[in-house]
Amino acid sequence: MKANSRQQRKAARVFFSSPFGGLEEEREELTKKYWPQLSSMCKRAGYEFVPVDMRWGITSEMSSNAATIEICLREMDRSDMIVGFFGQRYGWHGSDTLLQKSFDVAAVKYPWLNDYREKAVTELEFLHGHLRNPGKRAACFFFRDKSYDDMKLKLAEEAEDERQARKFRSETDGPKAAEYLEDLKRRVHETKDKCLAVNMNYKNPQEGARLMYETIEKYLQEVILARPVQQLSALEEERVQHDVFRVSRLAMGGVFMGGDVYLNRIDNHVKSQNQEESPKYLVVTGDAGCGKSCLLGSWSLHHQEKFPNDAVVYHFAGSSSDSTVPRKILKRLLEELNSWFTNKTQAIQQDLEGKQESITSSGERDIRDLIRDLRGMVKRITQAGFRTIIIIDALNKVDESGKTTKTLYWLPRALPPKAHLIVSVISSDVLKMTELTEERGYTAINIAPLKEGEREEIALATLKVRGKALSSEQKEKVVCKTQTENPLYLKTLLEELCSFGEFFKLDAYLDGLLETKDTKELFLKFLQRLEADYNPKEYEGNLIKDIMCCILVSRQGLSETELKSILHITDQMWSVLYFAIEEFILERAALYG
């Protein structure tokens, strides 16, 4: 089921084009330092940053089937911009039988390729992404200074490392390689006025990656993510947090893979409201990471699209700093319903003005008053002929007031006719599940583990968005692994694979990840990668471990300032790491936990 077009997951796709060998350092710098920052920036604007990096996007099957060129150009067609970069290697070109077969396959869809059969795949990407129609697609190009390659070549030759030396010799790819590369550089330079940026001699991989990042960041901010500047109210700001969270939890393309059964069950529950005796209350439950938030996010978008006259308000506990406080949850739901009703019924807006004032200036009202007012607002909406649906995700994340307080004391027990309350809670929270199903009579939907077909569908869709694919053997390993029946495990596994850059070591890396017995062990692998990738040399000790331990032992979390002060780290050291772990830590009232 497709998500509402007003708020379905949007992607900012950036295609990175370069020869396979010799540019590993730039790619690693981009992957570990800059992509997390771009991802964070896009996420805050409701977008997904999708770096399309074909360094292991082409499987051995695709190569043997001569699909290399077609796959690369098709990925280019799906991208918003191209970032091209070169060292001294021109790349695979010439009369190679498999390469020419790849031209044959791709020329069916791209007949212009027949005029460039002697050129390298990277030049074909430059042609398709920019040179054949300069200015049509956002593009930037970066060429590394020859002195750096000469230095790396000298070091490799002194070490008698021929494999490494080949990466920095222009003649590695044939006698005309240097000539072809110089001609390509000339043509790119001639179109610099149609490019976002062209740099002909960046000094080293670090500078090159930084220049690429700055160009991408500027373009995304000014074009892709650009929105009219407007002052938001406190309610609107909080709504944005929940909207962004909802979109971030959607499956790829806004489709809840394998979830039609659950979507239909919620549909049927809401439709059954026509029967007066039918239940109004529904709880979605399952193991941690089973897809409860994804299901509720997908269903709410689908329902809003299909029934625009229903008052649908949703609250995702954990999506913002105040989202787990019971009183603030009720206050927000009340204000959202009031805002919806005011906008929907302009004819009686004047009658609502007094109520609006009492809601927005209510201050520290008692929980009982808020529950009473929420019921009253729902009654007014339903009596006006509108169905009301309240969704609260992750009750297990909501703050507890104390051991003497009754479970879910703050959650309304009764709503008027034509109103529904749909919640979710982790199945291991026995107290809340008992309260909901046995004490309050909620209907339960239990999300079952993913079937093998669903796992394969999710894996293919996720990797396709990133311009990647697994070989048949790799796919079989992933799909048949029992642990991948958990969506969070599968998602984390796929994200880790996408962040890995060494094609020839991919099998071993996948095997290592699949050795983990559950999501917890997989996250430990994730932490080990962070330790390998993000521990700065100038820090004495294990920065990743120290930060995580500080957060763990803190009572209510630590602020960024406190963490930097305790560990004596710079802003830069913190920022690089923060963007890598942002997805896995909670931020509440500027405290990380």
Give the DSSP letter string of 142-189: EEE-HHHHHHHHHHHHHTT-HHHHHTT-GGGG-TTHHHHHHHHHHHHH
pTM for this entry: 0.64
Which residue(s) pair with 389 in the sheet?
312, 420
Instruction: Report how far residue 426's alpha carbon sits from residue 405's, in angstroms, rounded to the nearest whole number.
Output: 20
Residue 313: name the closest of 293, 287, 341 by CA. 341
How confident is the model at residue 210, as a pLDDT? 97
Contact 589, 323 (CB under 8 A): no
Contacts of 521 (CB under 8 A, 6+ apart): none
> Dihedrals φ, ψ of 241, to 5°?
-60, -45
Contact 551, 517 (CB under 8 A): no
Pairing state between β 388-393 and 311-316: parallel
Instruction: Report how far residue 37's alpha carbon sits from residue 24's, in angstroms, rounded to the nearest whole number.
Output: 20
Contacts of 280 (CB under 8 A, 6+ apart): 273, 415, 419, 420, 421
Instruction: Report how far residue 6's alpha carbon sits from residue 470's, in angstroms, rounded to the nearest whole number.
Output: 33
Contacts of 154 (CB under 8 A, 6+ apart): none
Contacts of 207 (CB under 8 A, 6+ apart): none
Residues 99, 100, 106: CA angle, nearest 5 degrees: 90
Instruction: Tell me the torsion sign for CA atoms 323, 327, 328, 334.
Output: positive
Q: What is the CA radius of gyration of the chain?
A: 27
Residue 46 region by backbone torsions, left for phi larger than 0, else alpha for psi between -120 and 50, else beta: left
How confident is the model at residue 260, as a pLDDT? 82
Instruction: Report how far residue 393's alpha carbon sits from residue 415's, in angstroms, rounded to the nearest whole number.
Output: 18
* 170, 361, 370, 372, 378 from 358: Cα distances, Å: 74, 5, 11, 13, 16
* 3-class state of residue 275 by DSSP: coil
Contact 567, 545 (CB under 8 A): no
Contact 527, 543 (CB under 8 A): no
Joined tokens for residue 438: 């046995």
pLDDT in single tens digits along all 593 residues of the chain: 333 334 445 778 899 999 877 888 998 899 889 999 998 898 888 787 888 887 655 545 445 556 778 878 888 888 899 999 999 888 878 777 888 888 888 898 899 999 999 999 999 999 999 999 999 999 999 999 999 999 998 998 889 888 888 888 777 677 888 899 999 999 999 999 999 999 999 999 999 999 999 999 999 999 988 755 455 678 877 777 777 677 666 654 445 566 788 999 999 988 875 555 455 899 999 998 888 998 998 899 889 989 999 999 999 998 777 788 999 999 999 999 999 999 887 644 544 444 444 444 444 568 999 999 999 999 999 999 999 999 999 999 998 876 667 899 999 998 988 899 999 999 999 999 999 999 999 999 999 998 998 899 888 888 877 777 888 999 999 999 999 999 889 988 988 888 776 767 889 989 999 999 999 999 999 899 888 888 888 888 899 899 989 988 887 678 877 888 899 888 767 777 777 777 777 665 556 66
Residue 194: name the closest of 109, 126, 247, 96 by CA. 126
Instruction: Report how far residue 588's alpha carbon sits from residue 593's, in angstroms, rounded to the nearest whole number.
Output: 8
